Amino acid sequence: MSSSSAAAGRGEKAGKPTMRDALVAAAFRLFLERGYEQTTVDDIVALAGVGRRSFFRYFPSKEDVVFPDHERCLADMTAFLAAGTDDEPVRRVCDAARLVLLMYAENPAFSVQRYRLTRQVPGLRAYELSVVWRYERALAGFLRARFAGLRDGTLRADVIAAAVVAAHNNALRSWLRSDGQGDAEAAVDHALEHVRAAFGAETVPAVTDGPDDVVVIVSRRGAPLWRVVQELEAALGRG
Amino acid sequence: MSSSSAAAGRGEKAGKPTMRDALVAAAFRLFLERGYEQTTVDDIVALAGVGRRSFFRYFPSKEDVVFPDHERCLADMTAFLAAGTDDEPVRRVCDAARLVLLMYAENPAFSVQRYRLTRQVPGLRAYELSVVWRYERALAGFLRARFAGLRDGTLRADVIAAAVVAAHNNALRSWLRSDGQGDAEAAVDHALEHVRAAFGAETVPAVTDGPDDVVVIVSRRGAPLWRVVQELEAALGRG
C-alpha cells in the first residue's frame, strides 16, 4: 500500500492524494455510513466529485474498491517469487506471504474497518475468498516449479501453499478481530515459522540410502531430552 | 449423492427420479447445450415441466443447481465429525474429507462435466471456492475443539484443515482433469496419507506408564527432525 493510498484508506489527506485515493475514501465513508449494499457507484462518484467512467477506470466493480491494494500486492508477490534464487523454497513462500501482512499492517484502522465490513456482506466474503485463492495459487505455482520432478511434487506444493496461507490468515485474522492491537508481524512470523518447521526440510535431499526406511530409537523415559535428540540426530545422519 | 440424484446428474431415469432430480437433469442439459450464462431459470423449469417456485424450493439460485449435493455432503461431514470419538483427530478429518471424494466418484461423468463447466464460468468458480471454504471450516472447527488448550491449538487446527483440503483437491482435480480415468479413491488416499504422515503425530497421547519404562520412536528417515522431536516430546510427556 503506497502512503498516498494508505492515506485514502484512512480518509485523510496526506501527501498528494490521487483520484483513485479519493474514490476509496469516498466509498468507505459511504459504506460505513449507509452500509455496503445501500451504497451505489453513483453515490461514490458523486461524493468524490468525479464521473462514473473515472471509477471504472480504476475499479472493475464496487467490490474491487473494498480491496484496492490486492492487485498490486499480488503483482509484488509474483515479482518477489520470480526473483527467488535461494535454495529454500518454503522460506521463500513464507516471505512472500509476509507481503500480504505488511499491506494490512501498514494501515491498521482501514484494515480493521474493512474486516468488519467483509464479515457482514456475503458478496465481499466471496470476493475475499477469490483473492486468497489467487495468492495461494501464486505460492503453489512457485513451489510446483521448484518441486518439478520430485515425487508427489504438485501435491507437496499445493499442501505447503495451503498451509502457508492458513497460518498467515490465522494470525492476520486474530489481529484484525482484536481491532489491530498487538504485533501483527510477530504473530504472522510465529505462525509461518510453524509451517516452515513442519515443511522446511521437504526439499532437503533425502539421505541416499532410501527415503522410506525407518529409524527406531529406544530410550528410557527418564533420559534427558537433549541426549535422546543427540542420539536421534546421529541415527538420522544429521548430527 | 443418493442414487436417484446421481441418476439425475447423468440425465437418466433410474429408480424413481424426484422433481429435484428432474431440475438438475434439465439444468445440465441446457448448460451443456447453450452455456451456463445463456440458460435462465425459466428455461430450466420449462424443460423440466415445473413452475419457478418449484425450482426455488430446491435451489436458492441458478448456481446452486450446479452443486446439488454439497449441502447434503456438508451435513454428512458435520455429522461424521460430531460422531468422532477416536484419539486420532487428524485421521478423522482425513476420513471426513473422503466423504467429498465419494460424492464425486459416485458419478464420474457428471462430476467431469461439472468440472469443465466450473472452469469456464467465473461465478461458478467463486461459488466452488465458498463451498470448499465451508468444508475447510468444518474440519478446522472439529480440530480446534480437539486441540483446545494445546499451545497454538487454533493455528495447528487451521493449518491441518487447509493441508487436508489441499491434498484432497489436488488428487480430486487431477482425476477430474483426466476425465475421471483412474482410481480416484486411491489417489485421494495417497494424498491424505501424505498429510496424515506430516501431522498425524500432532496429538498422539503420551504413554502413561511409569517413569522408567522404555519409549520407542519409529520414524521415516525422511521425516524432518523437528517433527520427530515433537513426537518424542509428546511420547515422553514433555510437549
Terminal Cα-to-Cα distance of chain A (whole angstroms): 45
Do B8 and B24 contact (CB within 8 A), yes or no? yes
Q: Is the CB of A197 less than 8 angstroms away from the CB of B224?
A: yes
Residues A174, A130, single domain; the answer is yes
With CA atoms as reference, the chain B residue closest to A215 would be B219
Q: In this predicted model, what pLDDT tens digit does every residue of A44-53 receive, in sequence order?
A: 999 999 999 9
Residues B109, B197, single domain; the answer is yes
Residues A93, A177, single domain; the answer is yes
With CA atoms as reference, the chain A residue closest to B197 would be A198
pLDDT at B119 over 70: yes
Q: Is the CB of B158 less than 8 angstroms away from the CB of A170?
A: yes
With CA atoms as reference, the chain B residue closest to A216 would be B218
Amino acid at A152: D
Q: Is the CB of A219 less than 8 angstroms away from the CB of B221?
A: no
Residues A114, A231, single domain; the answer is no
The shortest CB-CB distance from A152 to any of B152, B194, B221 is to: B194
Q: In this predicted model, what pLDDT tens digit does every residue of A64-94 receive, in sequence order?
A: 999 999 999 999 999 999 998 767 899 999 9
Q: Is the CB of B236 less than 8 angstroms away from the CB of A225?
A: yes
Question: Best interface-test mutation with B: which of A127, A155, A195, A199 has the largest number of B CBs within 10 A?
Answer: A155
Question: Best interface-test mutation with B: which of A212, A236, A238 has the largest number of B CBs within 10 A?
Answer: A236
Residues B142, B223, single domain; the answer is no
Greatest mean pLDDT among A78-92, B14-28, B154-168: B154-168
Q: Is the CB of A233 less than 8 angstroms away from the CB of B220?
A: no
Give the minimum alpha-carbon distance from A106 to chain B in angstroms, rounded to a whole number: 23
CA-wise closest residue to B72 among B122, B131, B159:
B131
Q: Residues A40-59: what's their mean pLDDT?
A: 96
Q: What's residue A209's pLDDT? A: 41
Q: In this predicted model, what pLDDT tens digit does every residue of B172-198 receive, in sequence order?
A: 999 999 999 999 999 999 999 999 988
pLDDT above 70 covers a percentage of chain B that reads: 77
Question: Best interface-test mutation with A: which of B216, B221, B225 has the largest number of A CBs within 10 A?
Answer: B221
Of A62, A88, A112, the last residue of a domain is A62
Maximal CA-CA distance, chain A: 77
> What is the 3-state composition of chain B as percent helix, strand, coil, each rounded to the nearest 5?
70, 5, 25
Q: In this predicted model, what pLDDT tens digit does every residue of B84-111 receive, in sequence order?
A: 876 789 999 999 999 999 999 999 999 9
Q: What's residue B211's pLDDT? A: 47
Q: Position of cell 435451489?
A: B59
Average pLDDT in chain A = 84
Chain A residues closer than 8 Å to B213 by CB: 220-221
Residues A29, A146, single domain; the answer is no
Residues B212, B193, single domain; the answer is no
Q: Please indicate whether residue A206 or residue B55 has the higher confidence score (pLDDT).
A: B55
Give the minimum alpha-carbon distance from B172 to chain A in angstroms, rounded to a whole number: 11
Total domains in the fold of chain B: 3
Q: What is the DSSP string of B76-135?
A: HHHHHHHT--SS-HHHHHHHHHHHHHHHHHTSHHHHHHHHHHHHH-HHHHHHHHHHHHHH
Of B12, B46, B64, the last residue of a domain is B64
Which sign, positive or negative, has the C-alpha torsion B95, B97, B103, B106? negative
Q: In this predicted model, what pLDDT tens digit does every residue of A129-184 receive, in sequence order?
A: 999 999 999 999 999 999 999 999 999 999 999 999 999 999 999 999 999 999 99
Residues B128, B236, single domain; the answer is no
Residues B14, B55, single domain; the answer is yes
Do A157 and A147 contact (CB within 8 A), yes or no? yes
SS3 category, B217: strand
ipTM: 0.79
- Domain containing A45: what range? 3-62
Check CB contact of A195 with chain B, cutoff 8 Å.
Answer: yes
pLDDT at A38 over 80: yes
Q: Is the CB of B125 less than 8 angstroms away from the CB of A129?
A: no
Give the minimum alpha-carbon distance from B175 to chain A in angstroms, rounded to a whole number: 13
Residues A142, A217, single domain; the answer is no
Q: Please indicate whether residue B135 or residue B7 has the higher confidence score (pLDDT).
A: B135
Of B16, B38, B64, the last residue of a domain is B64
Residues B80, B7, single domain; the answer is no
Interface of A with B in 64-83 (CB under 8 A): none
Confidence label for B168 from pLDDT (cuts 50, 70 and 90): very high
Interface of B with A in 100-159 (CB under 8 A): 125-127, 129-130, 133, 152, 154-156, 158-159
CB pairs under 8 A between A and B: 157
With CA atoms as reference, the chain B residue closest to A202 would be B224
Q: Is the CB of B154 less than 8 angstroms away from the CB of A169?
A: no
CATH number of the domain at B155, please. 1.10.357.10
Question: Best interface-test mutation with A: which of B134, B220, B238 has the largest number of A CBs within 10 A?
Answer: B220
Q: What's residue A85's pLDDT? A: 76
Q: Residues B209-214: what's their mean pLDDT?
A: 47
CATH number of the domain at A42, please. 1.10.10.60
pLDDT at B170 over 50: yes
Give the minimum alpha-carbon distance from A98 to chain B in angstroms, rounded to a whole number: 16
pLDDT at A28 over 60: yes
Q: What is the DSSP letter of B39?
A: -
The shortest CB-CB distance from A158 to any of B170, B217, B227 is to: B170
Residues A117, A167, single domain; the answer is yes
The shortest CB-CB distance from A129 to any of B133, B225, B226 is to: B133
Q: Is A148 left (phi over 0), alpha (psi -120 to 50) or beta?
A: beta
Q: Position of cell 468458480?
A: B125
pLDDT at B235 over 70: no
Q: In this predicted model, what pLDDT tens digit does every residue of A94-136 receive, in sequence order?
A: 999 999 999 999 999 999 999 999 999 988 999 999 999 999 9
Q: What's residue A205's pLDDT? A: 39
The shortest CB-CB distance from B159 to any of A163, A207, A236 is to: A163
